[in-house]
Every structure is written in C-alpha cells, then in structure tokens.
C-alpha cells in the first residue's frame, strides 16, 4: 500500500520558510503550508532547505516570475488547447476529462538513464519468465516460485501453453506504475504486461505544452516522445511470422465504447495501419484475413487492445463478439502474431510479480536495478515473522481483495485490530501480503492562483522489438488529488507533461537503435562463391 500524505505531520517544516529562501515567488507562497505533504514525502522541485533541485532550476526560474493572474490565464489556455486537439482526453481506467497541469515534471538525464536500465532489465526478465511459464516452467520445478501462484492465477491461460511467438517476444508493449519514495528513489508499484493504456496522453500532453509554452522548451533540451508509434510499428513488424518484406499489421479495438478508443485511433493513424474490430477479421485454415472493400487481405500481426478473455470465443468466452474465432490456433500454427501475447497477465499478477527480483536473479543472474515497493509475503517464514513484529507500521492486504476491502492499515489500527490481524495471518499465511507505507513524492501543481505540492506517480512505457527494449523517455505523470491513495484516483487529479532532460554533450541518448530494414533492397548482390 502506498499512501500519498500520511499522518504524523511535520508542520514545523511547513511554516519555516518559503521554498526559495529569500526571494519567494508569490506562486510558491506557503508551498509547504497546510495542504502540503505531511510526513516525509520527497518534493521533486525543492530540497528540504528550500533550494531548488538541479533538474528543476531552469523550469523554476521560468515560472517563478509569473504573476498569479498570469498563471490562471495560461492554465486556461492550456485547457483550451487540450480540448482543441480533441479526442483522447481520457486516462487509464477513467472516462472523465483529466486536466493537464501547467507545471511539467522533470527527470534528469542521469536519473532517467538509471530508470531506463531498470525497466529494460525488468522487461527482459519478465519475457524470460513468460517463455518459461508457458513452456517447461523450470522456475517452478526449481522451487523458486510456488506452483500454486501460477496455476491459481486467473490470468494464467492454459490455452497459451506451447504457443511460441516467432521472434520470442510476448511483451511488445509494457507499462509500469512507479512511485518515488521518501528518499527520492523510484520504485515499482505495478506492472502491466497486457494492455497498458495512456501513451496517447503522453504524446498529447507534450503537443499541448509545446503549443502553449514554447518558451519553456527553449531553456533546455527535453527528450522527444512523438516517435513512440515508430518504435511500436517497428516492434510489430519485427514480430511478424511470415517471410514477408511488408507484413500486414492491424490494430484491433473493442470499438468506440472503449474508454481508450481515441488512443487506438491515434496509434493506428500514426502507424498508418488499419483500425479494425473483431467482426472485420476472420480465420480460415488458421490464417487471419481482413475483410476489405477490395476483398480479403491476409494479416500477419494483430496489435490487439481487446482483453484475453474476449479475444477468441473458441477458447475463452463463447459469447464474446469483440474477438476473432480461431485466432489463437492461427497464432499457434505460426500464421499470425498476437501482440501482446495471450496469457501475459500471469506476469503482472499481484502475487507473481512479487517474485520479479527472484526472476531477475534466476534468469539473468543479476541484481534488480529498479527496486519494487517492498511486499512481504506471509507464506514465507522470515517475511511473515517480520510482518507479525512490525504490523503497526505496515499495510496488511488480503490476497485477491479489491477496493481496499479487508485492508488493515497498521499505523491507524487499534491494539485489538492488530491482534485480530495477527491471528488471521497465522491462520492463513497464503491469504495475506503486507507493504510498508510509502509517501509519494510531490511536484508543484496549480490550484487556483497558487502552486501547491501534489503527489505524483509515473507510468513509463516500454516497447520490445526482440532486438532491444525501447523505453519512451518519461511517461505519464499523474498528479493525485490531495490525500489520496494510489490506485484510487478520486476527483481532482490531473496529469503532467513529463520531461526527461537530454544529457550534456552529443550522443548522450543511449537508446537501442535497431535498424532491421536493409536500405539496399533494390540492388541485388551476388553472394560470394564458396568452394
């Protein structure tokens, strides 16, 4: 459990001084005052002594002189521009508009470099895990991961067993939910290896910011995010099963009623591929075809934004009208690639994913570069002992619980509640996990004519083309409403443009640039003779 703003205020810190020391901009007046973060949250713009952190200096200097009235006006301009661009306003898991805040979130080149390496390592390990778990399941045989966590997972799809993608990639696109803890370290709170949403929001936020505040971007180099679809298309084409120079790719959407439909449209448009629904496709003899006005077209790769359980009525829900009957067997026969692969949900399951550090060690022989929010698993003796001894500092969650039901928030619990929780853990060790209370980091965020600290999380996106993992610089930053708990973004939240600063000097962008396309396709070479 991660709580944004915990109890136990450090109010003396609040009134001590304006964050910029001597010359306090009116925008930041009382930045740490009453509705500011209590507890030990890490503020991303200001050090504890009120000085500005290095990555934010240019941004702070640009914003600080702004008059209060100006801030509101700019913010309104931002809202208008965002609306003008139309369409993809919604964010993951919600359909209501999600305002874009005027203050971007900044990540330095060094921080990003470390973060990117950690994400790449995580994707590589999870790929190895999925290949294993739908194959020989060696990690289970070796006793690293309890078998029951796999077989008991609702997203472990037996229909995907033995289904091996041609280039080995199952996680074509991954999203991660990260938070920054009290020390400023990024930690992983959640993984999404199935159908992560929100990348269109990242691109649109940047477009809007660049339009309304072009001057902000002149002070420093900010890494671009607009080429995401290029990377996605490259990964999808690289996944194609056929020996085909120009594989046919489609985006499969559940349709206009899906909250993420605008994103599906945007990605299809940017990639220049067809946006289709289940009824537009059909399988014949394990080959997938698209019905077009000019007849049938063979399809090689389906970037599907339809859930596993609805994807193939022959294998899953027979009543689903969003999927394509027989598509799983077409993939099994090697005639089409489904991206992301069916059954990836076993890798982001709330219990299985607590073993990612073990996976990184088991498959890669490495130590995790990007830490998780610690999760204590009560079925493991030493971790259970820790939970029982430190229950008043931890958040105890029932396995499989949703909506916070049955959660015991240690710091707030009475002695009797703690005793009852201890008994429950001892009675059913497999039924409980526990996490420390983490105070999310804060970034200045506009409320009326002031900037106040708001808790933020980060959802970066990774694309795996089989040769390398591309991580889109930045990701989606969500600013959470005051006092909220992650995963429960109530009203009042917003998003922020996320800036990854370009490093100093040339060639400081260590992205894997994998060019698989040969440029001289039209010139036929003669192979050297071999005796």
Partner 1 sequence: MGWRIRVVHETGYRYGSPVHESYNEARLTPRSDCRQNVVVSRVETTPPTRSYRYADYWGTTVTAFDLHAPHTELAVTATSVVETGDAMPPVRTATWDDLEGDAVRDRYAETLEFTDYVSRDRGLARAARALRKGNDPADAVLAACRWVREKLAYQTGTTGVHTRAVEAWDARTGVCQDFAHLTLLLVREMGVPARYVSGYLLPRADTEVRQTVRGQSHAWIEAWTGGWWGHDPTNDIPIGHRHVRVAVGRDYADVPPLKGLYVGGTAAALDVTVDMTRLA
Peptide bond into 340 cis (omega under 30): yes
Contacts for 333 with CB less than 8 Å, ≥ 6 apart: 286
Binding site for partner 1 (CB under 8 A): 146-148, 151-152, 158-159, 161-162, 282-286, 313-314, 318, 325-326, 329, 332-333
Distance in Å, CB of 359 to partner 1, minimum: 18
Radius of gyration of the chain (CA): 25
CB 522 within 8 A of CB 503: no
Separation CA 321–CA 195 (nearest Å): 19
Q: Which is nearer to partner 1, 326 or 494 (CB)?
A: 326
CA distances from 51 to 26, 71, 83 (A): 16, 22, 35
Taking the complex as a whole, the smallest distance from the CB of residue 311 to partner 1 amounts, in Å, to 13
Least Cβ distance, residue 132 to partner 1 (angstroms):
15
Buried/exposed code over 206-221 (b: 16+ C-beta within 10 A; e: otherwise) = bbbbbebbeebeeeee
CB of 139 to partner 1, least distance (A): 13
Our CB check for partner 1 shows the closer of 217 and 282 to be 282
DSSP strand pairing (287-292 vs 469-471): unpaired
Task: State in angstroms the smallest separation of the CB of 141 from partner 1.
Answer: 10
48 versus 147: smaller Cβ distance to partner 1: 147
CA distances from 321 to 158, 165, 279, 283, 301 (A): 21, 25, 8, 14, 20
Nearer Cβ to partner 1, position 217 or 430? 430
Residue pointed to by tokens 């077409």: 330
- Closest by Cα among 352, 434, 381 to 144: 352
Nearest approach, Cβ of 193 to partner 1 (angstroms)? 20
Tell me how far apart the alpha carbons of residues 511 and 509 are, in angstroms, rounded to a whole number.
Answer: 6
Contact predicate 374/220, CB 8 Å? no
Cβ at position 152, least distance to partner 1 in Å = 6
- Looking at the Cβ atoms of 80 and 284, the one nearer to partner 1 is 284
Contact 334, 288 (CB under 8 A): no
Task: Count the neighbouring beta carbons within 10 Å of the beta carbon of residue 73.
Answer: 12
Alpha-carbon dihedral angle through residues 503, 507, 513, 517, given to the nearest 10 degrees: 150
Closer residue to partner 1, CB minimum distance, 303 or 379: 379
Task: Give the max Cα distance, the chain.
Answer: 85
Whole-number Å distance between alpha carbons of 194 and 415? 41
| In the complex, least distance from residue 289 CB atom to partner 1, rounded to whole angstroms | 10
3-state secondary structure of 485: strand
- For residues 334 and 13, what is the distance between their CA atoms, to the nearest angstrom? 62
Decide: 209 and 104 in contact? Cβ < 8 Å. yes
Residue nearer to partner 1 on the CB measure, 428 or 488: 428
Q: In the complex with partner 1, which residue's Cβ is closer, 137 or 265? A: 137
Q: Which is nearer to partner 1, 133 or 451 (CB)?
A: 133
Q: Which is nearer to partner 1, 180 or 289 (CB)?
A: 289
Asked if residue 174 lies in contact with residue 192, where contact means CB atoms within 8 angstroms, the answer is yes
């Amino acid at each position: 459990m991660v709580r944004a703003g915990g109890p136990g205020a450090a109010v003396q810190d609040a009134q001590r001084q304006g964050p910029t020391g001597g010359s306090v901009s009116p925008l930041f007046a009382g930045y740490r005052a009453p509705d500011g973060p209590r507890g030990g949250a890490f503020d991303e713009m200001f050090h504890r002594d009120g000085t500005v952190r290095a990555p934010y200096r240019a941004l702070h200097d640009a914003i600080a002189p702004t008059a209060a009235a100006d801030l509101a006006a700019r913010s309104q301009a931002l809202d208008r521009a965002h609306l003008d661009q139309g369409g993809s306003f919604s964010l993951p898991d919600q359909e209501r508009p999600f305002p874009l805040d005027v203050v971007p979130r900044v990540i330095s080149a060094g921080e990003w470099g470390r973060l990117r390496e950690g994400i790449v390592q995580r994707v590589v390990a999870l790929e190895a895990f999925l290949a294993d778990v739908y194959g020989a399941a060696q990690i289970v045989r070796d006793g690293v991961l309890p078998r029951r966590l796999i077989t008991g997972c609702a997203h472990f799809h037996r229909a995907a067993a033995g289904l091996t993608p041609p280039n080995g990639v199952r996680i074509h696109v991954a999203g991660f939910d990260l938070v920054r803890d009290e020390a400023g370290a990024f930690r992983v709170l959640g993984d999404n290896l199935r159908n992560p949403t929100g990348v269109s929001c990242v691109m649109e936020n940047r477009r809007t910011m660049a339009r309304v505040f072009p001057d902000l971007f002149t002070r420093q180099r900010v890494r671009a995010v607009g080429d995401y679809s290029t990377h996605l298309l490259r990964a999808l084409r690289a996944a194609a099963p056929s020996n085909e120079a120009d594989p046919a790719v489609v985006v499969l959407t559940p349709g206009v009623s899906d909250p993420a439909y605008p994103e599906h449209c945007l990605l299809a448009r940017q990639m220049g591929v067809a946006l289709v629904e289940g009824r537009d496709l059909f399988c014949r003899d394990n080959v997938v075809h698209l019905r077009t006005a000019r007849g049938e077209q063979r399809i090689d790769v389906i970037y599907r934004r339809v859930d596993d359980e609805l994807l193939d009525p022959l294998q899953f829900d027979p009543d689903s009208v969003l999927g394509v009957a027989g598509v799983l067997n077409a993939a099994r026969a090697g005639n089409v690639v489904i991206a992301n692969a069916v059954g990836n949900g076993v890798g982001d399951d709330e219990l299985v994913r607590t073993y990612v550090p073990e996976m990184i060690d088991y498959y890669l022989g490495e130590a995790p570069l990007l830490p998780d929010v610690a999760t204590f698993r009560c079925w493991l003796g030493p971790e259970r002992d820790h939970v029982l001894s430190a229950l008043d500092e931890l958040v105890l969650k029932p396995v499989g619980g949703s909506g916070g039901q049955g959660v015991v928030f240690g710091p707030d619990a009475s002695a009797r509640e703690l005793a009852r929780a201890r008994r429950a853990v001892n009675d059913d060790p497999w039924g409980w996990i526990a996490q420390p209370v983490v105070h999310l980091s804060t970034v200045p965020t506009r409320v009326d004519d002031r900037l106040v600290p708001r808790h933020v999380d980060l959802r970066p996106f990774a694309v795996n083309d089989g040769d390398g993992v591309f991580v889109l610089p930045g990701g989606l930053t969500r600013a959470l409403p005051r006092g909220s708990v992650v995963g429960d973004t109530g009203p009042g939240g917003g998003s922020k443009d996320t800036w990854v600063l370009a490093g100093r000097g040339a060639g400081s962008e260590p992205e894997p640039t994998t060019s698989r396309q040969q440029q001289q396709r039209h010139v036929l070479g003669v192979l050297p003779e071999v005796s």
